[in-house]
């Protein structure tokens, strides 16, 4: 009798554990580190916090997120992506430009003036071309799982030497650019000395006069106090800079299918929120930068577009004329 009651008790206990999920794989908690290199006042960080809130809510706490800002886990974007590949970081929010080092055709989105406006951006990001971009990353098999496309914004030139009205005004300036061949070639086409540099070094290099200027979306200029070391802002909008939220693929594959899908769904849902934040900040912050002493000019974009046009011919073979045309035609 004792043995039969013991056996019955054991069966009941196992059943209770299965019903409650205690001790099963489904109840495992996954702690994920999400990282980016910019300040907490940047749209990346607002997106990261919304991602944290929603993923924890949608998975009933089975996924827990800790967000690291300000380059705490690596000062440069490339450094963080490499750490992600090694598994030292779970999720990184970064510009797509840096991923062209592993997936060269992704650089199609870095071509100067390939995006007309934000409506065109949304047609690409939310349409077949955006899906194709994400598929290219997966096909590269570089231990990176793309979750969704986010946004940095259109990029503008700042410098400490003179106002910029025409492409000729850029000639001779030493401009920090991202570590991206198209960005380098585009500023060389303007006659600038294009200087690739890790983002963590830029403020000091501007402060010390090692470089004259840099180019970035508006929120970066405020969140990283570029106005303190560069007086002149030119609203060129020469590049549109997509961002992307990516995950270590091995870590992603180690999770149950329902949590994998939750990560993708939440990252894509937050994409729209994060883009809205970035665009609102751009609209509001130009006036704030003027108040802080920056002199803002509005150059003729057509002149810059013409000056940078040779870059398309230079990279057409690498990127593919069909892919370039697909981006140009999106939304038409």
Secondary structure (DSSP) of 278-319:
HHHHHHHHHHHHHHTT-EEE---HHHHHHHHTHHHHHHHHHH
Q: Residue 15's pLDDT is what?
A: 45
Q: Residue 3's pLDDT is what?
A: 44
* Sign (positive or negative) of CA dihedral 140, 50, 94, 148: positive
Q: Residue 25's pLDDT is what?
A: 45
Strands (E), the chain: 30-35, 63-68, 91-95, 144-154, 156-159, 174-177, 193-196, 213-216, 232-234, 240-248, 295-297
Angle between the N-to-C axes of helices 181-189 and 301-308, in degrees from 0 to 180, rounded to the nearest 10: 110
Spatial separation of the C-alpha atoms in residues 151 and 271, rounded to whole Å: 8
Q: Residue 19's pLDDT is what?
A: 42
CA atoms within 13 A on the CB side of 195: 19
Rg (CA), the chain: 23
332 residues of the chain, pLDDT tens digit each: 434 444 444 444 444 444 444 444 457 999 999 999 999 999 999 999 999 999 999 999 999 999 999 999 998 899 999 999 999 999 999 999 889 889 999 999 999 999 999 999 999 999 999 999 999 999 999 999 999 999 999 999 999 999 999 999 999 999 999 888 999 999 999 999 999 998 889 999 999 999 999 999 999 999 899 999 999 999 999 999 899 999 999 999 999 999 999 999 999 999 999 999 999 999 999 999 999 999 999 999 999 999 999 999 999 999 999 999 999 999 88
- Nearest CA among 302, 307, 295, 319 for reference residue 161: 295
**Dihedral Cα 113, 116, 120, 121, nearest 10 deg:** 40
Q: Residue 11's pLDDT is what?
A: 41
Spatial separation of the C-alpha atoms in residues 261 and 318, rounded to whole Å: 33
Q: Residue 199's pLDDT is what?
A: 86
User: Locate tokens 């007309």: which residue?
Assistant: 116
Spatial separation of the C-alpha atoms in residues 130 and 111, rounded to whole Å: 15
Q: Residue 180's pLDDT is what?
A: 85
Structural domains of the chain in order of their starting residue, each with its CATH number: 23-329 (3.40.190.170)
**Sheet (strand 91-95) strand order:** 63-68, 30-35, 91-95, 240-248, 144-154
């Amino acid at each position: 009798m004792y043995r039969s009651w013991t056996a019955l008790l054991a069966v009941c206990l196992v059943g209770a554990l299965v019903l409650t999920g205690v001790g099963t794989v489904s109840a495992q908690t996954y702690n994920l580190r999400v990282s980016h290199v910019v300040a907490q006042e940047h749209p990346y960080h607002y997106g990261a916090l919304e991602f944290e809130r929603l993923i924890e809510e949608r998975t009933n706490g089975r996924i827990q997120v800790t967000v690291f800002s300000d380059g705490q886990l690596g000062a440069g974007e490339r450094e963080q992506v490499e750490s992600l590949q090694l598994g030292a970081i779970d999720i990184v929010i970064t510009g797509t430009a840096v991923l062209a080092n592993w997936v060269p055709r992704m650089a199609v989105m870095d071509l100067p003036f390939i995006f007309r406006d934000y409506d065109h951006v949304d047609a690409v990001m939310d349409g077949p071309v955006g899906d194709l971009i994400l598929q290219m990353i997966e096909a590269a098999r570089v231990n990176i799982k793309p979750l969704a496309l986010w946004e940095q914004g259109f990029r503008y030139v700042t410098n400490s030497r003179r106002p910029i009205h025409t492409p000729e005004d850029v000639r001779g300036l030493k401009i920090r650019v991202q570590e991206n061949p198209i960005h380098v070639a585009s500023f060389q086409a303007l006659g600038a000395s294009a200087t690739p540099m890790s983002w963590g070094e830029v403020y000091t290099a501007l402060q010390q006069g090692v470089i004259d200027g840099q180019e970035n979306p508006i929120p970066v200029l405020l969140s990283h106090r570029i106005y303190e070391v560069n007086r002149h802002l030119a609203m060129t909008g020469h590049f549109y800079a997509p961002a992307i939220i990516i995950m270590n693929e091995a870590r992603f594959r180690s999770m149950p299918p329902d949590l994998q899908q939750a990560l993708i769904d939440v990252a894509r849902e937050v994409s729209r929120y994060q883009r809205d934040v970035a665009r609102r900040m751009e609209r509001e912050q130009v006036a704030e930068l003027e108040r802080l002493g920056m002199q803002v000019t509005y150059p003729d974009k057509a002149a810059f577009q013409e000056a940078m046009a040779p870059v398309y011919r230079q990279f057409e073979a690498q990127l593919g004329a069909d892919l370039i045309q697909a981006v140009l035609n999106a939304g038409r």
